[in-house]
Amino acid sequence: ATFTPLTPEGEINLSVIGPYIDYLIEKQNVKSIFVNGTTGESVSLSLAERKALAEDWCHKAKGKMDQVIVHVGCMCLRDSQELACHAAQIGADGIAVISPSFFKPSTAAFLREVASAAPTLPFYYYHLPAMTGVNVPVRDVLNDIEELVPSFRGIKFSGCDLMDFGQCVSKSRPHWAVVYGVDEQLLAGLAMGANGAVGSTYNYVGSYMNKLMTAFENGDQLQARAIQFKLQELLSFAMKNRFDVGVNKQLMSDVSGLSLGPPRLPLVQCPQDYAKSIFQKYNSLFQDSR
Ligand SMILES: CC(=O)N[C@H](C=O)[C@@H](O)[C@H](O)[C@H](O)CO
Ligand SMILES: CC(=O)C(=O)O
């Protein structure tokens, strides 16, 4: 899940996108990206900015990355449809939608209406209950979902309810992706049957977490756990202070050397001394990750 590069003045900074893509591929072994999501501060961007970013990510990743998934969720259905339609025009590999969260839905009709604006694009439902407050079990959303949304191709599950996640895997069809999005417990998601991971921390621990997935596939639980515990240690340290997109983005700038800039209000930049201490913590845990 990519951060949105901003200039120090807070304008979107497309010049960083090319080097950012190269960094993810070369240093983190990350081959697919999820843009304009939570990590990308999409809710703080205008529609015009989201379009410009999506277009640049898609064009610059073409031929380099396997997939670019564009998040098109908005509070307003018309806006989401406009972004979905745009994603199809720019050659995105799929679209994902977080549920609207001010007025909370009780049916999947919003998803159906967004998907129908880009019927040829694979469609993913993005479950993020801690942020949206929409706690409808995803296993219930899946009932007859392909009749409602013919382009439905899976779920990005960023909740902690592993029973619900397990039921999603259990109900999934072979052509779906059921990917897990709580990085600090990815191993539990894999045990439940996740076939991929999308998350913010893979920006700077992607190469490590790829090793976790390989260890899991090889049945090496000790190795898989050792890697998972390192990420948990980093996040426990951060969460004791503050761990939001502002802090996360700063850490990625420090690790990668890319100038991702500040977050946009209402988020505020990470204080310098805190940025330093979290970067030190990262280095003590993941020395050989770059
Ligand atoms: C709320 C949020 O942003 N969740 C991300 C993905 O869904 C995760 O990647 C978290 O940032 C990560 O697991 C750290 O808590
Ligand atoms: C997956 C995630 O962290 C995002 O939506 O940005």
Q: What is the pLDDT of residues 38-51, one digit of tens each?
A: 999 999 999 999 99
ipTM (interface predicted TM):
0.95
Q: Looking at the domain assignment, is residue 288 inside a domain? A: no
- Identify the domain containing residue 125 by its residue range: 14-205
C-alpha dihedral (258, 263, 268, 270), degrees to nearest 10: -20
Q: What is the CATH number of the domain that holds 52?
A: 3.20.20.70
Q: Which of 158, 165, 178 to mutate to test the pocket of ligand 1 (most atoms within 8 A of CB)?
A: 158
Q: What are 87-96's pLDDT values in tens digits?
A: 999 999 999 9
For residues 13-19, give the mean pLDDT. Answer: 98
Q: Looking at the domain assignment, is residue 76 inside a domain? A: yes
User: Residue 119: phi, psi to the nearest 5?
Assistant: -65, -15
Give the chain's domain count.
Answer: 1
Active site residue 156: yes
Q: Evaluate: CB of 40 within 6 angstroms of ligand 2.
A: yes
Token pair listed for 212:
């976790």
Ligand 2 centroid to Cα of residue 8, in Å, is 23
Pocket-forming residues, ligand 1, beta carbon under 6 Å? 1, 38-39, 128, 131, 158, 181-184, 199-201, 235
Active site residue 126: yes
Q: Looking at the domain assignment, is residue 74 inside a domain? A: yes
Q: Looking at the domain assignment, is residue 275 inside a domain? A: no
Residue of 22, 28, 29, 16 lying closest to 61 (CA atoms): 22
Q: Looking at the domain assignment, is residue 163 inside a domain? A: yes
For residues 81-100, give the mean pLDDT. Answer: 98
Q: Report residue 288's pLDDT band, with 50, 70 and 90 as the boundaries.
A: low
Q: Looking at the domain assignment, is residue 63 inside a domain? A: yes
The single residue of 20, 23, 124, 126 carrying the catalytic annotation is 126
